[in-house]
Amino acid sequence: MSELWVERHRPRTVGDIKGQRAVVDRLKAYAEMRTFPHLLFAGPAGTGKTTAALALARDIFGDEDYRTSLLEMNASDERKLESIRTKVKQFARTAPVPGTTFKIIFLDEADALTPDAQGALRRIMEQNSETCRFILTCNYSSKIIEPIQSRCAVFRFRPLADDQALEMIQSVAAAEGINLDAEAADAIVHVSLGDLRKAITSLQVAASLDANVTRELVYETTATAPPEELHGFILACKEDGFQPARRRLKELLDRFGLAGTDLVNQMHRELGSVAFLDEAQKLAVTETMAECDFRMVEGGGEALQLDAMTARLCSLIGN
């Protein structure tokens, strides 16, 4: 459902885009002028970067004809120098379609391009700026070389606000005939972290098992532990001691299918809302989780590192 639904309901104009008001206002001005400089869209996944690029192309060239003036490439699939020298350079050199003054080359996930490919792209952007406009999207603008950034108008996309993501999820559920509990909708928003694509996929996975989507089903199908379960583990470290806390940890991992790094990241996210720890204890817990996460990423045994983290927490915050 998710990919098909997103494509079918993708905003067709810049004005239809939700949740990125500062970006939309600037893009509307470009659409009205029917021209724009090279653009760089940077921000987290699932926040509308690709949608904004395609909507801008539709606004400028028309809903039926925009594909003839647009070259769309996923730079993570074609990240090498040869792709830039062949496909991009060849398209940039061809004349615009009659009735238009320029074409658009849209490079999605441009931060995956190698430094050599970015160097070649920089030169193509210089030589063909009159008849070709580039739109680059990336998650991390720091991975784009400075000469390219300086040639682009940079747009920063932000994660969708909770109320905006909630509105979209409810509209998807209504359109697909899914019975979505209010608590389940809040759980999807909590899991998605402002990523609308992830939110729609989470709804799809849960709905594929049961048309009545509940909060428990959402957490079980997204490999995410509910906040109260994570709070319970920390409380067990504080009040019950090592062995009970260790059993609680194993139950969490088995029930929700969590990897060790997933558990640590989710605990880090929820730590600020733990009411029974003071600030000094939260600082100590954060340092312990950071060390555990680093060791697992570097190849340390997951079970041993999580047990070591549990033991450390018991000694730091235990009564």
What CATH number should be reported for the domain whose range is 227-317? 1.20.272.10
Per-residue pLDDT tens over the stretch 156-181 = 998 888 888 898 899 889 888 889 98
What's the pLDDT score for residue 255?
Answer: 87
2-156 matches 227-317 in fold: no
Instruction: With a cut of 80, say whether residue 78 has pLDDT above it.
Output: no
Q: Which of 249, 279, 278 has its CA nearest to residue 266?
A: 249
pTM exceeds cut of 0.75: yes
Say if strands 212-213 and 179-180 run parallel, antiparallel, or are unpaired: parallel
CA 37 to chain centre: 26
> CB 163: neighbour CB atoms within 10 A?
10
| Residue keyed to tokens 């500062």 | 22
Task: Report the C-alpha gap between 194 and 182 in whole angstroms.
Answer: 18
Output the pLDDT for position 215.
92
Residue type, 210: D
From 3.40.50.300, 1.10.599.10, 3.40.120.10, 3.40.50.2020, which CATH number describes the 2-156 domain?
Answer: 3.40.50.300
Q: What pLDDT is recorded for position 234?
A: 94
Quickly state the pLDDT bin for 4 (edges 50, 70, 90).
Answer: low
pLDDT of res. 8: 57
Closest CA to 160 of 270, 49, 258, 297: 49
pLDDT value at residue 263: 93
CATH fold of 162-221: Helicase, Ruva Protein; domain 3 (1.10.8)
Give residue 308's pLDDT: 95
Lowest mean pLDDT among 2-16, 93-107, 163-177: 2-16
- Report residue 84's pLDDT band, with 50, 70 and 90 as the boundaries: confident
State residue 230's pLDDT score.
Answer: 93
pLDDT at position 194, please? 86
Other C-beta atoms closer than 10 Å to the C-beta of 245 total 24
pLDDT score, position 72: 86
Residue-wise pLDDT tens digits, 14-65: 767 777 778 888 888 888 888 889 999 998 888 888 888 888 888 888 877 7
Supply φ then ψ for residue 109, to 5 degrees: 55, 50
Whole-number Å distance between alpha carbons of 316 and 8 = 52
Residue 304 is predicted with a pLDDT of 94
pLDDT in tens, 282-301: 999 999 999 999 999 999 89
Least confident of 83-87, 93-97, 110-114: 83-87
Give the pLDDT of residue 6: 55
pLDDT in tens, 122-135: 888 888 888 899 99
Residue 114 has pLDDT above 80, yes or no: yes
3-state SS, residue 221:
helix
Q: Is 123 helix (H, G, I), strand (E, B) or coil?
A: helix
Name the token pair of 170.
């409810």
Least confident of 69-78, 149-158, 223-232, 283-292: 69-78
Query: Domains of the chain: which residue ranges?
Result: 2-156, 162-221, 227-317
Mean pLDDT of the chain: 87
Percent residues over pLDDT 90 in the chain? 38
pLDDT at 287: 95
On the question of pLDDT at 85 being above 80, the answer is no
Strand locations in 43-143 (E): 70-74, 103-108, 132-138
- Token look-up 């079980």 returns 220
Burial of 39 by CB count in 10 Å (0-12 exposed, 13-18 middle, 19+ buried)?
buried
